[in-house]
Structure 1
Amino acid sequence: MADLLEVDLTDEERTLLVSGLNEWGGSARPTPDVAKLMGFGGVEALLREGGVIARKVKAREPLSAADWRRALFATEIVFVSDLVGSGVDWATTTGLTDEQSIRLLRDVQRKLVGLA
């Protein structure tokens, strides 16, 4: 079993990741290729495993480095992409403004950089 890592994220940073993971089951339009690119076995795995990761992030539970990376990458794509993600609908569907989201995303990226 992979080592589990605790990452000191603020409540807002956790909300960003949870929102990012949850958006794949909402306004986003994931494809099997995109899901695999993010490290999931397919769309069903993205929705299932992404939901588990989101619950753990919200509960402040430790995750494997791979799961932290998947949470971050899934959030990056769903926030920015209007083709497969939430894109321009992000602020409406999550309640997080673009300005707030990019600031939080950069903070999370800095905290997760270097996870093996």
Structure 2
Amino acid sequence: MMGFETRTTQAGAVVIRPEGRLNMVAAPRLREQLRELVENGSTRLVVDLGAIDFIDSSGLGALISGLKSARQAGGDLRIAAPTDQVQNVLTLTNLNRVLRSHDSADSAFDGG
């Protein structure tokens, strides 16, 4: 299973950058990759949504699953650069209150 691109910020957070549509086809890959990152000790995660042009309920589920895994391991999952479509879905579902959004992946964990 092909994974999404990852990198580490100066603050030590792991950034994962899915692209295109985060739907029932791609969401299981994201969910699995986030789970593996947490299992391997990366508990500060940032999902860069700047290249996502569509997200559905399965994509949201993958984000929430990653958030839960990271928090259970003593960390956090934050999102960065959500596109308008993603931001609209987050607002409509009130998940914008749960998933902290940041302008960039590099600033997501600045200051704490």
Q: Tell whether the structures are fold-level matches, with TM greater than 0.5.
A: no
Please identify which structure carries the higher strand content. Answer: 2
Please identify which structure carries the higher helix content. Answer: 1
TM-score (structure 2 length as normaliser):
0.35
Higher RCO structure (Cα 8 Å, ≥6 apart): 1
TM-score (structure 1 length as normaliser):
0.34
